[in-house]
Amino acid sequence: LRDLVNAIPYYAIKEGLLTVPKKNKKNIFAGKILEIEGLPKLKVEQAFELSDASAERSAAACSIALDKEPIIEYLKSNITLLESMIKAGYGDATTIQRRADKMKEWIANPSLVKADADAQYAAVIEIDLNDIKEPILACPNDPDDVATLSEILADENRPKKIDEVFVGSCMTNIGHYRALGEVLKGEGQVPTRLWIAPPTKMDKNQLIQEGYYFLFGAAGARIEIPGCSLCMGNQARVADGAVVFSTSTRNFDNRMGMGAQVYLGSAELAAVCAILGRLPSVEEYMSIVPTKLEGKSEDVYKYLNFNLIEDFALVD
């Protein structure tokens, strides 16, 4: 899915709607509301990965047309979480319960806002997912400077060796960490400095329970407390001048480390970069990731539905 995130500016550049240089920059997304259609079955967590990236486009907001079913699934999970917060004495119980009750009311009579059939748009970008045949990355150091993996490898001005890898940020969910663990499994200690920071304590606890923290430790990863870590830029720092592959939201100059050159891409590609210490060829990526994840997708890319967890309760 992260490749689709980067495909949006990639296709915009192709259509002349976005330019990379800052001088006389053209950005069709700036100040606009993005409407994304054609992916109605996405889980809400996946939709958030797309909408989160709208900030990097300088958009005012983003909406994604989903079916009712994934929204109901997400809200049921959140109701359980909110009511667990009340039991744990978190915040104002009346306010939290009111929010949970509103969710229950919507589930009982769900309705969705839809775009007008005759709506006029500043631009329409159509992306055929069948045309995305390899990873698409944001290159150092601009989230608009996107290119396919093969284009990057063919460009002698792009760094290829990877010094540090970061898997974290609010654009990640628990499925990304499972995928990371599966790709790292059996590979021993990686030659890169690998940072891992799940976004929440709940993700952390579930990953520990499923044995993924053991896999991270076996790879020699530095496991951060849940939260922003390197993505924030003021909690931890990579080495000065490091070339980094990151799953974070943005890669502005000096944000992760002084003089750091930061690529942005998927957790799956991050795992391969961590193992190889460099950007892989497309052939290497396609031989490693599908093999490692074969037959595991359903278990790897599932989300924390708290209502389906027996005796779910908030813990430290």
The domain that contains 272 carries what CATH number?
A: 3.30.499.10
**Each residue's pLDDT tens digit, 229-262:** 898 877 889 999 999 999 998 899 999 999 999 9
Whether 197 and 93 map to the same domain: the answer is no
- Tell me, yes or no, whether 88 and 148 share the same domain: no
Residues 230, 237: Cα–Cα separation, whole Å: 6
* Residue 176 and residue 83 share a domain: no
Q: Is residue 168 in a domain?
A: yes
Domain extent for 101: 68-111
Number of domains in the chain: 3
pLDDT score at 314: 85
Indicate whether 314 belongs to any domain.
no
Sequence-ordered list of residues with C-beta below 8 angstroms from that of 5, at least 6 positions apart, any chain: 49, 50, 53, 171
Rounded to 5°, angle at Cα 177 from 188 and 40? 145
- What pLDDT does 316 receive? 60
162 and 28 in a common domain: no
pLDDT tens figures, 70-92: 999 999 999 999 999 999 999 89
Residues 213 and 234 in one domain: yes
Q: Do 145 and 272 belong to one domain?
A: yes
Cα separation, 177 vs 158, in Å, equals 27
- Mean pLDDT over the full length of the chain: 95
% of the chain beyond a pLDDT of 70:
100
**Spatial distance between the Cα atoms of 274 and 272, rounded to a whole number of angstroms:** 5
272 lies in some domain: yes
User: Is 52 found in the same domain as 90?
Assistant: no
The pTM (predicted TM-score) of the whole model is 0.94
Residues 255, 147: one domain? yes
Of 46, 78, 111, which residue constitutes the final position of a domain? 111
Q: 168 and 295 share a domain?
A: yes
Q: At 37, which CATH number?
A: 3.40.1060.10
Q: Which regions of the chain are under pLDDT 50?
A: none
What was the pLDDT predicted at 186? 97
* Same domain membership, residue 270 and residue 229: yes
pLDDT at residue 235 in the model: 80
* Closest listed residue to residue 238, CA positions, set 225, 249, 222: 222
Residues 199, 172 contacting (CB under 8 angstroms):
yes
